[in-house]
Amino acid sequence: MNILLLGGGGREHAIARSLAKSKRLNHLYIAPGNAGSSDYGTNVSLDILNFDLIKSWSLDQKIDMIIVGPEAPLVEGIYDAIKGDDKTNHISVIGPSADGAMLEGSKAFAKKFMSEFDIPTAAYLEVTNDNLVEGINYLKSNVGPYVLKADGLAAGKGVLIIEDTQEAIHSLKEMLAGQFGEASATVVIEQFLDGIEFSVFALTDGKDYVVLPVAKDYKRIGEGDTGLNTGGMGAVSPPPFVTKELMQKVEDRIVKPTIDGINARGFDYVGFVFIGLIRVGGEPFVIEYNCRMGDPETEVVFPRIQSDVIDLMEAASRGTLLDSKIEINPLTAAAVMLVSGGYPEAYQKGKKITNVPTTSNSIIFHAGTKVEEEHLVTSGGRVIAITSFGEDHKAALVSAKSIAEEIQFEGKYYRKDIGFDL
Ligand code: AMP
Ligand code: GLY
């Protein structure tokens, strides 16, 4: 198979590595890719939101399958663009149609979906300028902390958690007035859930599914989960608190009803469903849906998948996942993310990266890297993820952190406490 993988982060490097293990792969292209993904295929500079260009390029290169890493092309309708054209509809697309991607693209849409299919989630109210008074009364009649979510995509920044009622009312007005642009013209106010978060991933063909390894990511920049939110500073798979019993509840009450809901709504959904969950008093609740894999979760989830991932994705695109089994490495994988000094606020790029080990039992996943005048340099906030295996997360993290110490670039920072709460 000739495959085009869209995206250029650690997630895509990790997917590329798994694809390259398959005997089914002929040629892999990654757009735009990074300095690590080029070990497994050819990086190409295509605008991943220019669907006409992607279609004509894919025809020229005889692409059989397009795997979409990030959410933006999905929400913008890349699936529909490829499948709606006689010339390209033979190409498999891993990633849902635009209507399925609304599960990530609109929080209000996702809440209505969960309510329709009885999927456990926090109580909520949808607010626009038209029912602002109702929104204010909702805040006044509940106690903090309040969770305010911009409805649309806001690069992971659109969720505010506020203790004080007056402050929450003020923020609600600010959001509706355009704090996050169009994305916050609608706001979802949610009941605050107190518990520990984890992420469950399924690959679906729109009616059946396989569950991928479960993971937990660490979003805050500071140790002890403090400071600003980032794309993700590390991950562990599996987190030990996700017992078989909890996972069974997740599958029965959440994964299966979600896929049944997708089927009932008639969405063309071939791809990944990423369910952000929280455990409250032993019971799982949905925090959010994403229509793609997570980053850095993919850097611990994909290395644990021992089955041929191209076989799995092909089964998804043919609608035959019911017959698929997935084999998972029982060891624990843990990832530590090296980031640029200053991230997630302003940071510098172009710093020379040295001491990257060429042989080790760990896996080095590039995120924001590129090659400039034959030197590996930083090109983003999140620079490199180091994934190691162990009997448990502690053992895995000893290896990952020793390599995190070794690799050097000016301003390097990483969290030394990944897994501290497990
Ligand atoms: P989201 O973009 O919906 O995943 O929200 C971002 C983060 O906000 C989540 O990872 C949680 O840490 C937090 N969060 C979202 N919804 C809630 C909730 N209902 N209760 C408590 N925390 C929440
Ligand atoms: N790590 C969280 C995400 O990919 O959205």
DSSP string, 176-216: HTTTTGGGGSSEEEEE---SEEEEEEEEESSS-EEEPPPBE
d(CA 378, CA 376): 7
Determine the residue of 107, 124, 146, 147 to mutate for testing ligand 1's pocket, defined as the one with the most ligand atoms within 8 A of the Cβ atom.
Answer: 147
Atom of ligand 2 nearest to the CA of 232: 1
Peptide bond into 70 cis (omega under 30): no
In a domain, 155, yes or no: yes
User: Distance from the CA of 320 to the center of ligand 2, in angstroms?
Assistant: 28
Q: For atom 6 of ligand 1, which residue has the closest CA?
A: 159
**Same domain membership, residue 11 and residue 84:** yes
Atom of ligand 1 nearest to the CA of 121: 19
Asked which of 97, 116, 140 is the last residue of a domain, the reply is: 97
Q: For atom 4 of ligand 2, which residue has the closest CA?
A: 294
Please count the structural domains in the chain. 2
In a domain, 182, yes or no: yes
User: Distance from the CA of 284 to the center of ligand 1, in angstroms?
Assistant: 14
Domain of 77, CATH number, reads 3.40.50.20
d(CA 147, CA 136): 13
**Same domain membership, residue 136 and residue 58:** no
In a domain, 220, yes or no: no
> For 352, which DSSP code?
B
**Same domain membership, residue 69 and residue 152:** no
Residues 6+ apart with CB under 8 A from 420: 223, 224
Q: For atom 5 of ligand 2, which residue has the closest CA?
A: 294
**Same domain membership, residue 156 and residue 91:** no
d(CA 176, CA 128): 7
Atom of ligand 1 nearest to the CA of 287: 16
**Same domain membership, residue 74 and residue 6:** yes
Where in the sequence is the domain holding 137, given as residue range(s)? Answer: 124-190
Atom of ligand 2 nearest to the CA of 217: 1
Tens digits of residue pLDDT in 289-305: 999 999 999 999 999 99
Q: Is the pLDDT of residue 147 over 90?
A: yes
Say which ligand is closest to the CA of 294.
Answer: 2
In a domain, 231, yes or no: no
In a domain, 15, yes or no: yes
Residue 407 φ then ψ, to 5°:
-65, 140
CA-based nearest residue to 100, from 246, 271, 221: 271
Domain of 150, CATH number, reads 3.30.1490.20
Percent share of the chain, pLDDT over 70: 100
In a domain, 258, yes or no: no
Q: Is 310 exposed, middle or buried (0-12, 13-18, 19+ CB in 10 A)?
A: buried
Q: What is the mean pLDDT of the segment spanning 47-51?
A: 97
Say which ligand is closest to the CA of 183.
Answer: 1
In a domain, 29, yes or no: yes
Q: What is the pLDDT of residue 284?
A: 98
Asked which of 143, 166, 190 is the last residue of a domain, the reply is: 190
Structure tokens that stand for 244 in this block: 């078989």
Tens digits of residue pLDDT in 70-95: 999 999 999 999 999 999 999 999 99
CB 198 within 8 A of CB 214: yes
Say which ligand is closest to the CA of 276.
Answer: 1
Place 155 in a pLDDT band, splitting at 50, 70 and 90.
Answer: confident
In a domain, 300, yes or no: no
